[in-house]
Amino acid sequence: MRCYMVAYLRLRASWVSDRCFCLPFLRRRGKLSSSRLNCLLLSLLWRYYQRKRRQRARKAVNRKLMSMIALLAVVLSACSAGLPRSGNVNVVEDAVRPNGGIVLDPKGPTPGASPEELVDGFLRASSVGNSDDFVVARQFLTPEAAARWNPMSIVRVYPDSQSREYTSTGTGAIRVSVGALGAVDAEGRYTSSPVDSIISNEFTLMRNRDGEWRIAVLDDGISMPQSLFTSLYVKAPLYFLTPNNIALVPDLRWYPRQQVVSALVKGLVKGPSPWLSPAVHSAIPVDVNADNVVVSTEDSTARIELSASVASLTEAQRALIETQFFRTLTATGLVQQVELTSGGSSLAVGTRLDLPAYPFAAAPIVALADGLPAQIVDGKPRLLSQSESLRAMGLSNLAVAYSDQVQTAAALSHNKTQLQSLDFARDRVTMITAGQQLIPPSFDSYSWVWSGEAQSRGELVAYNTNTGAAVKLHLDEVANSRIRLISVSREGTRMIIVYDRDGANLASVVAIVRDSAGVPTAFGDPLHIVQRLKDIVDVAWISELKFALLAQGPDQAAHGLYIGELGGPSSHVTAIDGAVELTAGRGRDSIILLDSSGTLYEYLSGVWRLFAQGYKSPALPG
């Protein structure tokens, strides 16, 4: 305030002298003291300042008001000649906003557009074409091309950081190229692309009868950047059953957001992906046709009308079907209840089954403490064996069996040339097999421990620690390769294999086929995963779909922590420096890292904390 007073004192000195001429006279006459004179002067200045501020405010309001009046007059003058005074009432719909997402408002061809401008407009319109069933996108095509084009055969996804490049081919076609991130097929299955993959599409154009360019020849499918893809598509798992019906197995899919509920129902009826199908099954009868299934959603309840064959099933069989639909649809957050109907009548399903998808998620952690297996309790080792002969074996790569208490484990010994079975309850050590260099073991939930020769001829071996039985299975994918790691999922239907072949580090997941007793009998076809990562040094499942890896990312020299997802892209997680091993499974999405100094860190709910020190080869069941 003092600044304002000083400024006005300087600027309005003449005003003060004109209006306060009596002040010096009064002072000389002794009527006013020096302090009271100053107060009176400041009071006058303050009143002047307030009055001027009100005047400026009124002028500003008047200027804005006059501008608004002028603008309104222009608008009204334009409307007076164009407002309809007769005719029918028409409904104009707003741009589509799928489930609260971004506004989709594709634009049609611009008159006089060049070939490159037309192709660019088509790519923009087709990327959001789900909003209008690709009606606008087809306007960029000739009638013949519009009839042939299948936009949903494949959705190609590219990184946000890359821009499309336009070039001309020798035949005059326009080629559009951009780096590939992944692709989704017609059934919603996502496949990641290798780092150097390119999306390349060619468009042949011709003029129509009006002289405008239109696309006459093009590839099926559409392309879009990753950010748009994650906005327009929803990822959700389809849940199928293990052969013994004791657990659920997910099959991740990506569907357009505005069609996700009906797409999930139809996807579940169609069945699992080919790579997974040998190891799982569905309670939904095979004669149920996905095209005939009717889905309606009201008040967060999905009502699914099925064929009469479902009505003839037992209540226990219908309970399995309802469990599959319930877990699949509620995972999206769009549905809270499921009702099965047939012929318009509700089907009794009894009590809903609470089947796990990631079982055995609560177990103690085990590690090597000074060469001996120990359970870690409050950061301290509780030795599971004190055998000096065991210490002399040079144990490494612990794998723990599934149980509430740590009773059985397996480990490599003697410089990874022998596989040992460790029975802590009986304090007994048994050599399972020996070889030149063995694969680090992995337990499954059926008491089979998996290993084999690292320098592979395509064979993996499973040993049952309860019965002593052994099963040898062949997988062509890993023949003539060096297998680094294997990791069996919690429910026992899938295995991740990391291997080196022809100078490349690869990772695949395969289905494990079992008989009615749980004995492994075969592998399914491999599915390549995390193709953008390299030099993978450790892997562990952290949920029914996700797994953690220590690996090098694209253009990365150092190893880091990454989260992979079956049927989805991988992502980098900020972690501790110098991590050399990992394990997981103390809870969903929990990870434990071991650094080169023997310190264990736990990652839970987005936070790292020091867990324990002085250990090697940490292991949780699996």
Unique residue bearing structure tokens 């990562």: 533
Q: Reduced to 3 states, what is the DSSP secondary structure of residue 575?
A: coil
Question: What are residue 207's phi and psi, to 5 degrees?
Answer: -85, 145
Confidence check: pLDDT of 296 > 90 = no
Whole-structure pTM value: 0.81
pLDDT of 364: 84
Confidence check: pLDDT of 69 > 50 = no
pLDDT of 361: 64
Unique residue bearing structure tokens 């079975």: 421
pLDDT of 98: 42
Confidence check: pLDDT of 208 > 70 = yes
| Structural domain boundaries in the chain | 115-220, 232-346, 366-619
Average pLDDT over residues 61-83: 41
pLDDT of 290: 84
Q: Is the CB of residue 358 less than 8 Å from the CB of residue 402?
A: no
Higher pLDDT pick, 523 / 585: 523
pLDDT of 103: 52
**Strand bridging mode 504-514 / 527-528:** antiparallel
Higher pLDDT pick, 37 / 496: 496
pLDDT of 276: 98
What whole-number distance in Å separates Cα of residue 572 and Cα of residue 255?
24
pLDDT of 38: 53
pLDDT tens figures, 235-294: 999 999 999 999 999 999 999 998 899 999 999 999 999 999 999 999 999 888 888 888
User: Residue 20 is encoded by which pair of tokens?
Assistant: 């306060």
Specify the CATH number for 115-220; select among 2.50.20, 3.10.450, 1.10.3470, 3.40.710.
3.10.450
Q: Categorize the per-residue pLDDT at 100 as very low, low, confident or very high, splitting at 50, 70 and 90.
A: very low
Average pLDDT over residues 160-187: 94
Q: Is the CB of residue 598 less than 8 Å from the CB of residue 580?
A: no
- Amino acid of residue 568: G
Average pLDDT over residues 296-315: 88
Residue percentage of the chain with pLDDT more than 90: 68
pLDDT tens figures, 426-461: 999 999 999 999 999 999 999 999 999 999 999 999
Q: Is the CB of residue 547 less than 8 Å from the CB of residue 487?
A: yes
Cα separation values, 272 from 30, 107, 222, 396, 496, Å: 105, 37, 24, 37, 18
Confidence check: pLDDT of 92 > 60 = no
Average pLDDT over residues 27-47: 49
Q: Categorize the per-residue pLDDT at 347 as very low, low, confident or very high, splitting at 50, 70 and 90.
A: confident
Q: Which CATH architecture has domain 366-619?
A: 7 Propeller (2.130)
pLDDT tens figures, 123-148: 999 999 988 999 999 999 999 999 99
Q: Categorize the per-residue pLDDT at 51 as very low, low, confident or very high, splitting at 50, 70 and 90.
A: low
- What are the counts of helices (DSSP H) followed by strands (DSSP E) for the chain? 12, 38
Q: Reduced to 3 states, what is the DSSP secondary structure of residue 605?
A: coil
93-107, 156-170, 243-257, 363-377: range with lowest mean pLDDT: 93-107
> From the CA atom positions of the chain, what is the Rg in Å?
36
pLDDT of 21: 36
pLDDT of 80: 37
Exposure of 187 in the CB half-sphere (CA atoms within 13 A): 17
Average pLDDT over residues 11-20: 39
pLDDT of 239: 98
User: Residue 470 is encoded by which pair of tokens?
Assistant: 């052994």
**Alpha-helical runs (H) found in 205-352:** 226-232, 260-270, 308-311, 315-330
Higher pLDDT pick, 563 / 5: 563
Average pLDDT over residues 572-584: 92
Same fold for the pair 115-220 and 366-619:
no
Q: Is the CB of residue 268 less than 8 Å from the CB of residue 238?
A: yes
pLDDT tens figures, 466-506: 999 999 999 999 999 999 999 999 999 999 999 999 999 99
